[in-house]
Amino acid sequence: MSLPPRSEVVIIGAGIHGLSTALHLAANRGSGDGIIVVDKTSVGAGASGIACGVIRNNYFQPAMRELMAHSVGVWESDPEAFSYHPVGYMQISHEGMRDDVRSIFEQQQAIGYESVFVEGAGESQLYMENIFHDWRAQGITSVLHEKKGGYANNRKSLQGLLEKAAAAGVTVTGGVEVQELATDASGAVTAVVTDKGAIACDQVVVAVGPWVQKFWAMLDLPVTTAVKGADGELHDTNTWTYWALQEGVLGVDPGYLVDNEGNMPPVIHIDTDAPLHDDDGDLVTEGPWGIYYKPDFNFGGVQGGYMPYIVDKPALEVAVDPYGPESPDFVVGGDFYRTWSAALSHCQKRFEGKSGLIKHEPSGGIGSFTPDSFPVFDTFAENAYFICDSNHGYKMIGVGALVAKELDGDKQGLLEPFRYSRYAEGKLHPVSNSPYPWS
């Protein structure tokens, strides 16, 4: 395999962002000539390839909500090619989150995003029983039902993106490991140096998910970031924090989770402060806690996840290979299996006694989180565009369409709230009462 000695644009990473950027850039320019995507392994070998695949608009932060509405539109543009299932999404919450979720609903209405909001414990229970006759979760006082969104099958959607990009003339090459970003005296990137040779370029896009710190370091970008706090002072904080994402699959037929009408249901996300017990009555956690789940034929069962936790390992060590052979040891384990199966049973009686069906192969992964846990989309070193998704990645297929326009000089308002400069300016995104760092 030989690489071209020069390409106008080199995109590093053949996941959801890299492929989407390449496809849309080629569409905008009328050709994929001069656009190459390189990946050290293959398409979808990292985070995008094992993503849960949930597509939602459920964000407390207005900028995230508008960005996701745009991305849902891209998913809807070709559901078959992207293996997208528009079944909807439900945020089911306890009293401590009711005001936050009501705010999300009101702002969804303001941007024309179809959803239904139900308040009150009794009303919420009845609404859920109309979907699942065996619904029994405790401590629920609100339900936000997004009628758009749902989930996509990750590998199939990436294949769809790949086929579209290739048809547009984009070159996508696996088995190419980037070793260096060569720069000139001004600091601009002049070439992407790989183990298969160097590619001179005018622009480079870094779309590598949890490996972002490796490329951040190549350009000597800051290990710590000054963040302007509520006190008006700048506080140094780590630029990157690694969280372990806990996900798994219950080995039942996906049709086991149909709704009362026999149809595939919406994606379920519940956050509650009710104590969680396993089927033996032993306390698992006092809360608050949250899970999400859905039937999925791609994963072969009911698939979903539980709250993440910070990885207690040096960031540089994790950054070398977030999906390496050691990662399952601290990404997911017995506590997750017990907690997630207990939580499924807490929500629906049909899952009672099913904990033994949890599949025990490694799942989840490592997410690279920014100082405020939200994405950074920005240009560094003059011509290196970083897509730092902060683990919001797979669902945001539309980011590539926006980045493609920015590469051609057309700044996008939807991306403005995600510039790196927001930290020093104190323009941080609001924080919700969700137990998840990205909600």
Quote the pLDDT of residue 313. 55
Is 415 in contact with 64 (CB distance < 8 Å)? no
DSSP-derived letter for residue 265 is: P
Strand-pair category, 150-152 with 115-119: unpaired
Strand, helix or coil at 277? Answer: strand
In single-letter form, the type of residue at position 158 comes to: L
Predicted local distance difference test score (pLDDT) of residue 325 = 41
Per DSSP, which regions of 254-383 are E strands? Answer: 267-272, 276-277, 283-285, 289-296, 301-310, 365-369, 376-380
What domains sit in the chain, N to C, each tagged with a CATH number? 1-85+150-222+372-429 (3.50.50.60)
Please tell me the pTM assigned to this model.
0.92
Can you tell me the distance from the alpha carbon of 55 to that of 378, in angstroms, rounded to the nearest whole number? 24
Residue 247: predicted pLDDT: 87
pLDDT at 128: 98
In the DSSP assignment, the letter for residue 305 is: E
pLDDT attached to residue 216: 96
From CA 193, how far away is CA 301, in angstroms rounded?
42
- Separation CA 437–CA 415 (nearest Å): 20
Q: What angle do CA 211, 332, 240 make, to 5 degrees?
A: 30
Distance in Å from the first CA to the final CA of the chain:
43
Q: Tell me if 412 sits within 8 A of 406, measured CB to CB.
A: yes
Provide block-wise average pLDDT over 10 residues at a time, the chain (439 residues). Answer: 91 97 98 97 86 86 91 96 96 94 93 95 98 97 96 94 97 96 97 97 96 94 95 94 86 95 96 94 91 89 87 51 45 73 97 91 75 95 96 92 98 98 93 65
SS3 218: helix
What tokens appear for 186 in the block?
């001004």
Here the tokens at position 279 are 């089927």
**pLDDT computed for residue 1 by the predictor:** 61
Residues present in the chain in total: 439
pLDDT value of residue 4: 93
What is the pLDDT, as a whole number, of residue 51?
A: 81
* Residue ranges with strand state E in 126-266: 142-146, 150-152, 171-173, 178-183, 189-194, 197-206, 224-228, 234-238, 241-250
Which H or E run contains 247? strand 241-250
Q: Which two tokens stand for residue 195?
A: 């183990």
Nearest to 92 by CA among 113, 118, 126: 118
3 state SS for 149-178: CEEECHHHHHHHHHHHHHHCCCEEECCCCE
